[in-house]
């Protein structure tokens, strides 16, 4: 279970201007649930996920992962988390299998465990035909599958994926969403961010709408639609975008 | 921690040795480039020398010598030193200026002394060579005349030496105490002491730059660094692993460059007929061990600096911008230490980085001191630890994710 309690984070940009990326965000994701953070680019989704994954420290607030404060015990929390961020790109001359072995070793798995997990992930993500090829010879969909496998090699309880279907074609995207459903079935705690409404609607049990660093909605999709008397999440999303002055360039 | 660092190092090495371009530029090119380059220089120089020696030259003579046999003597000496045709009807400076195989000789007498002026075009190699040969011929004539004069006075020129100087060379060994061999070895050692530390410094730093930037700022740009950071491996292990990888690669490239350089120099000397230069080093096993330690330290510090800067920078371009001035400073340091000999004051050995160069020189020329070596070892080891610590700090900070919000 992941509890995000009132976290805030600001940065200073190159013009020395303070930017509040995340403002008092709170939500909770239980085991066997998928929580989706839906928001436009620059809304604070990635920053929130990076804070949960211990890559960034919040200015205030706390994140509790399976009862552990992720700032006080980051190493233990990392062992429980599988994190995939949209700017992660596997590259280099090692094969996919060698990458999985490398990250398995870094997660202190035994050789037997690495082989077992590799076999399992290759099957689940349909990677058999490219697992022994180097990333520079893979399509973006194949690379994404490999990145997912790398992030989950240590069989973590908590899965945090930032824009997992970003840039993927419809087939690769389906493999990823099906995989996440299977992870949910295995009682994993899953938090994803996306700006694709259909992905959020299909996958998520709980949804957090985030604009300008603020979580403006945090409920089940059904409740959000009922509250706004809307037919689709897209209607709610654009209503907030208009009211909060978020202008998206075409 | 070390186990994780070695895993990271191993992965980086496997990755780099799968890249054909890197294998070519790091391993094959240094070993092939210098021998080919110096070989070609040697061949061209040799061909040039042979062409100069084989060329037919014309000496335009303007003589005011009253005795015909005096001019004959001069011409005879000229014929002895090279392939010269003689034109004895005055000198046209325009002809000498435009014709590279032409040279002029104005010769006359002031009392008993021959007075000669050699006219040549100093811009042209062959003309300069011909002038040098004419001078040689005239000096031979001078020696003959001196000998004849001495003999006419009943003096044997061979008996005119009142001081005999012999050399005894210490510091290098030669077979059966052969002084010439010892001198040559000494010269070679001096050359090594001047060149090897300098080239090692340059190659180790230059060899690490590209790879170091790629494994830090390059990984940031490609987004592959964040994959490492969300794993259970400690940041210190990541820093150490990358530094160790870079250290090994920089040692490998610098050794291969040096091997290529030595083969290249040997080839060049062979082509120029100077292959009798002894390619041997007067070092015992301990000397080699000490040299090895200094090379490791040099590579560790270079790698530490480059990894630290690379991880601090937000992009490859920014990292290159930071490292290039440091490389220039190191080049200057290297050049400034090239000519200086060992046995510096003690405080020189407390200056990190540069003290490694002084210590290498000491090892080569046999002025090694345990106190200086230990000072160098402690100072540089501390610096390596500092760079690992600082790099780990950067890895631990949010800067490593180069968060920039516009």
pLDDT per residue as tens digits for the range A73-109? 988 898 899 998 877 778 888 999 999 999 999 989 9
Q: Where, residue-wise, is CATH 3.40.190 in chain B?
A: 55-160
Domain spans of chain A, in order of start? 2-86+157-243
Closest CA to B11 of B242, B250, B251, B304: B242
Q: What's the gap in Å between the CA of A78 and the closest CA on chain B?
A: 6
**Percent of chain A having pLDDT more than 90?**
54
Q: Between A19, A79, A85, which is nearest B226 by CB?
A: A85
Closest chain A residue to B395 measured between Cα atoms?
A55
Q: B69 is written with which tokens?
A: 């046999």
Which chain A positions have a beta carbon within 8 Å of B16's beta carbon?
93
Which of A102, A114, A160 is the best residue to mutate to test the B interface, defined by the most B CB atoms within 10 Å of its own CB? Answer: A102
Q: Between A13, A54, A75, which is nearest B406 by CB?
A: A13
Q: Is A94 an 8 Å CB contact of chain B?
A: yes
Looking at A182-196, B128-142, B235-249, which range is the least confident one? Answer: B235-249
| B234-255: average pLDDT | 86
CA-CA distance, A129 to B260, in Å (whole number)?
Answer: 43
Residue A184 has pLDDT above 80, yes or no: yes
**Between A133 and B26, the higher pLDDT residue:** A133
At A59 the pLDDT is 93
| B200-210: average pLDDT | 84
| B255-263: average pLDDT | 81
What mean pLDDT value characterizes chain A?
89
Whether B15 and A94 lie within 8 Å, measured CB to CB: yes
Whether B223 and A21 lie within 8 Å, measured CB to CB: no
For residue B46, the surrounding DSSP H or E stretch is helix B29-54
Cα distances (angstroms) measured from residue B278 to each of B192, B199, B256: 12, 20, 20
Angle CA A46–A50–A52, to nearest 5 = 120
Which chain A positions have a beta carbon within 8 Å of B18's beta carbon?
93-94, 134
CA-CA distance, A216 to B216, in Å (whole number)?
Answer: 38
| A149-166: average pLDDT | 91
Q: Using CB atoms within 10 A of its CB, is residue A136 exposed (0-12), middle (13-18) or buried (19+)?
A: exposed
Q: Is A184 an 8 Å CB contact of chain B?
A: no
Closest chain A residue to B10 measured between Cα atoms?
A102
Give the single-character DSSP code of B161.
-
Q: Using CB atoms within 10 A of its CB, is residue B175 exposed (0-12), middle (13-18) or buried (19+)?
A: exposed
| Confidence tier at B243 by pLDDT (50, 70, 90) | confident
| Confidence tier at B405 by pLDDT (50, 70, 90) | very low
Residue B404 has pLDDT above 50, yes or no: no
**Which of 3.30.200.20, 3.30.565.10, 3.40.50.300, 1.10.420.10 is the CATH number of A2-86+157-243?**
3.40.50.300
| B107-122: average pLDDT | 91
Interface A-B, measured as beta-carbon pairs within 8 A, has a size of 79
The DSSP annotation for B276-323 comes to: TS-------HHHHHHHHHHHHHHHHHHHHHHHHHHHHSSSHHHHHHHH
At B247 the pLDDT is 86
Q: Between A75, A94, A106, which is nearest B7 by CB?
A: A106
Closest CA to A136 of A85, A90, A84: A90
Q: Is A249 an 8 Å CB contact of chain B?
A: no
Whether B401 and A93 lie within 8 Å, measured CB to CB: no
Query: Which residues of B lie closer than 8 Å to A, measured between beta carbons?
Result: 4, 7-8, 11, 14-16, 18-19, 222-224, 226-234, 398, 401, 403-406
What mean pLDDT value characterizes chain B?
84
Residues 6+ apart with CB under 8 A from B288: none
Whether B14 and A94 lie within 8 Å, measured CB to CB: yes
Q: What's the gap in Å between the CA of A228 and the closest CA on chain B?
A: 32
Q: Is A14 an 8 Å CB contact of chain B?
A: yes
Considering the domain delimited by B55-160, tell me its CATH architecture: 3-Layer(aba) Sandwich (3.40)
CA-CA distance, B67 to B60, in Å (whole number)?
Answer: 19
Closest chain B residue to A74 measured between Cα atoms?
B232
The string of pLDDT tens digits covering residues A120-151 is: 999 988 899 999 999 888 888 888 889 899 99
Residue B297 has pLDDT above 60, yes or no: yes
Residue A238 has pLDDT above 60, yes or no: yes
Closest chain B residue to A153 measured between Cα atoms?
B231
At A133 the pLDDT is 93
Whether B232 and A19 lie within 8 Å, measured CB to CB: no
Which chain B positions have a beta carbon within 8 Å of A70's beta carbon?
none
At A23 the pLDDT is 92
């Amino acid at each position: 279970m992941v509890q995000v309690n009132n976290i805030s984070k600001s940065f200073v940009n190159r013009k020395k201007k303070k930017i509040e990326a995340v403002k008092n965000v709170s939500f909770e994701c239980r085991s066997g649930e998928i929580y989706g953070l839906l928001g436009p680019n620059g809304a604070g989704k990635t920053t929130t996920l990076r804070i949960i994954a211990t890559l960034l420290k919040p200015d205030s607030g706390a994140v509790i992962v399976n009862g552990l404060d992720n700032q006080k015990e980051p190493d233990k929390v990392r062992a429980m988390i599988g994190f995939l961020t949209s700017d992660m790109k596997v590259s280099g001359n090692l094969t996919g299998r060698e990458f999985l072995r490398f990250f398995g070793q870094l997660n202190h798995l035994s050789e037997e465990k690495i082989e077992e997990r590799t076999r399992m992930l290759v099957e689940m993500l349909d990677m058999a035909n490219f697992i022994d090829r180097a990333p520079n010879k893979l399509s973006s969909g194949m690379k994404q599958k490999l990145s997912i496998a790398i992030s989950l090699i240590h069989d973590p309880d908590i899965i945090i994926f930032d824009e997992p279907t970003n840039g993927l074609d419809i087939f690769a995207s389906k493999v990823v969403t099906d995989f996440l459903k299977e992870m949910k079935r295995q009682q994993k705690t899953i938090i994803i961010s996306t700006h694709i409404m259909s992905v959020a609607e299909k996958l998520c049990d709980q949804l957090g709408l985030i604009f300008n660093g603020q979580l403006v909605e945090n409920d089940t999709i059904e409740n959000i639609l009922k509250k706004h008397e809307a037919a689709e999440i897209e209607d709610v999303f654009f209503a907030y975008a208009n009211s909060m002055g978020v202008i998206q360039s075409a | 921690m070390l186990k994780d660092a070695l895993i990271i190092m191993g992965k980086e090495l496997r990755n780099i040795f799968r890249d054909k371009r890197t294998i070519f530029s790091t391993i094959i090119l240094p070993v092939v480039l210098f021998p080919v380059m110096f070989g070609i220089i040697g061949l061209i120089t040799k061909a040039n020398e042979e062409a100069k020696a084989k060329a037919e030259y014309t000496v335009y003579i303007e003589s005011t010598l009253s005795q015909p046999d005096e001019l004959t003597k001069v011409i005879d000496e000229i014929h002895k030193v090279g392939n010269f045709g003689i034109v004895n009807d005055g000198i046209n400076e325009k002809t000498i200026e435009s014709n590279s195989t032409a040279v002029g000789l104005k010769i006359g007498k002031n009392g008993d002394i021959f007075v000669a002026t050699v006219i040549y075009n100093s811009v042209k190699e062959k003309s300069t060579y011909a002038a040098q040969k004419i001078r040689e011929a005239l000096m031979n004539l001078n020696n003959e005349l001196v000998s004849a004069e001495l003999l006419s006075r009943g003096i044997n020129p061979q008996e005119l030496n009142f001081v005999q100087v012999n050399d005894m060379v210490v510091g290098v060994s030669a077979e059966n105490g052969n002084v010439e061999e010892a001198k040559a070895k000494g010269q070679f050692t001096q050359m090594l002491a001047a060149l090897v530390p300098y080239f090692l410094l340059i190659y180790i730093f230059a060899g690490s730059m590209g790879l170091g930037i790629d494994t830090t700022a390059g990984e940031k740009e490609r987004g592959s660094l964040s994959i490492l950071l969300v794993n259970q491996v400690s940041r210190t292990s990541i820093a150490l692993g990358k530094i160790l990888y870079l250290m090994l690669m920089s040692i490998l490239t610098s050794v291969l460059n040096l091997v290529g350089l030595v083969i290249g120099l040997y080839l060049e000397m062979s082509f120029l007929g100077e292959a009798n230069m002894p390619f041997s080093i007067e070092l015992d096993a301990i000397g080699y061990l000490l040299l090895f330690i200094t090379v490791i330290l040099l590579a560790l510090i270079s790698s530490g600096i480059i990894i630290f800067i690379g991880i601090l920078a937000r992009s490859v371009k920014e990292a290159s911008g930071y490292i290039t001035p440091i490389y220039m400073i190191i080049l200057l340091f290297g050049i400034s230490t090239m000519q200086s000999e060992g046995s510096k004051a003690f405080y020189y050995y407390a200056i990190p980085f540069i003290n490694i160069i002084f210590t290498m020189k000491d090892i080569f020329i046999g002025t090694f001191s345990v106190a200086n070596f230990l000072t160098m070892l402690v100072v540089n080891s501390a610096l390596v630890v500092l760079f690992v610590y600082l790099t780990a700090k950067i890895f631990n900070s949010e800067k490593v994710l180069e968060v920039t919000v516009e």
